[in-house]
Structures are given as C-alpha cells and as structure tokens.
Amino acid sequence: MEHENIIRIREVMFHDGIVSIVMDYFKMDLRKYINCTPNFSKTPPLVKVFLYQILRGVSHLHNHRLLHRDLKPENLMIDRENNLVKIADFGLSRQFYIPNRHNSTNVGTLLYSAPEVLFGSNLYSTPADIWSVGCVFAEMVRRTPLFCGKTENKLVRCIFRYLGTPAEYTWPDVDSYYDLSDFPKGEGKDLATLVPNLDKRGLDLLGEMLQVYPSRRITAKAALQHVYFKDIAACMAISNCSYDS
C-alpha cells in the first residue's frame, strides 16, 4: 500500500531463516499523543485533520479490497512535527471479495469492535472498519473510549444503552445474529450528551459512522465528502499539516 496515510515498508530482508521488515519510524501513536497532549481534544481543527487522514488511509485500503480489522489509537502512528497520521499494524488485515467470504470473528480490540463482529457474524466487511474509526473519532474528542465493557456481552449492552437496542425495522434479520430478548428496549441517548465537545456537523458524521446496522454506516469515501470536512483545507493550514510526498 503506497499512500501518505499508511505506514511505508522500506525494505524486507531475509537472513538465516529470519524475516526482517524495515518500516518508517514514529515516536508515538495516537494513544500516547492523546494522553500527553491535553489540549488536543480542545483543538477542533486538529482533531478534524487527524480524522480526515485516517479516513483517507482507510478509503485507500477499502478501494484495494483490504480490511484492516484492528483500527484503534495504538495502531495510528503520529508525526508530531507535521501532524501526520499513518495507519500501521496490519497483522489482522485481510482481503475481501464480492461475494464476501467468511472472516474470523476473533479479531480486533474489544472496545473498537463493531456490533456485527461482537455478535459473531463472519460476513462482516468494510463497515466494521468504519465503526472502529467512529470510536477513534469520539475518543479524540472525549479523551476516553466511548464504549466500555470487559466482555462482548457487556460491551454490546453499553452500545445498545447509548445508541438504542436494534429491532427488526432498524436492523433487518438482527434476530439471526443475536438473541435480543433479554436486552432492555430503548432508543438510546443523544450523541451530543456523549460527545459534548463536538459540533453539529461532527455529531452528524459520527452518527453516520456509528450506525448499529452495518449496511446503514457511511463509507470512508462518502465520509471524506461530508460537510464536516468543508473547511479541511483551512484546518490543515492552521495545523501546519503537510503530507509526505
């Protein structure tokens, strides 16, 4: 993958049965950046620039039929001097096909896993990555994960408590994925109460990313055209962001 927002492999070496891969070096990932830069979440233009770059990288992956399957702050490298973001750690990535083949459900990091993955579906596709990006987006603004749970069941309950428990009319055939009979019914909360520092356009985009029904989730390509990024050029100028050509 040759792209400004995807980590670059410089060289692959074989010696005495050992494979060594040389990649770009970064001093920190997004997790460390959030923790050591308290004002980051209070700087909307920079949050927007970071999200835009993540979506550019994800769009490139999806255009080349590649699922990352483990998008999280620890796998997003940050060049602090130029405010560049590069997607890294492709150990769980897989190619996808049309029609979609079955994928493993034991992937990714729990807090960033999409509902369909938590439900045990093995037919998930690109929307699963978009859900993860949505979780990262919310975390950049909140400085803490949006959904929390130490087990799949507890995390699903947290998601439903915040976003509403799906029904047949909101997620067709959801009963074939999961038994929802013991989940409390509810419409969920207003995203503005969960991510209060995000403006109206950002909340709209976040809501499109965090659609519980995967088929209703926005694509990476469409997200890049969202009105939230209308002023992205100005935000990049303010943030001194420069791509590595």
Domain boundaries, the chain: 27-238
- Work out whether the CA dihedral 195, 196, 201, 202 comes out positive or negative: negative
- Per-residue pLDDT, averaged over 140-162, amounts to 92
DSSP alpha helices (H): ranges in the chain? Answer: 30-36, 44-63, 115-118, 126-142, 152-163, 191-194, 200-209, 220-224, 232-238
Pairing, β 9-15 against β 94-95: unpaired
- Tens of pLDDT, residue by residue over 78-131, are 999 999 999 999 999 998 875 555 455 455 589 999 988 887 766 788 999 999
Asked whether residue 31 carries a pLDDT value surpassing 90, the answer given is yes
CATH number, domain 27-238 = 1.10.510.10
Write down the mean pLDDT value for the chain: 89
Which SS3 state, helix, strand or coil, does residue 127 take? helix
Q: Which region among 4-8, 168-172, 216-220 has the lowest average model confidence (pLDDT)?
A: 168-172
Distance from the Cα of residue 31 to its chain's centroid? 13
Question: Which candidate, 44, 54, 67, places its Cα nearest to that of 4?
Answer: 54
Catalytic, out of 16, 70, 175, 244? 70
Q: Is 70 labeled as catalytic in the residue annotation? A: yes
Is 80 exceeded by the pLDDT of residue 12? yes
Q: Looking at the predicted structure, is the pLDDT value of residue 245 above 80?
A: no
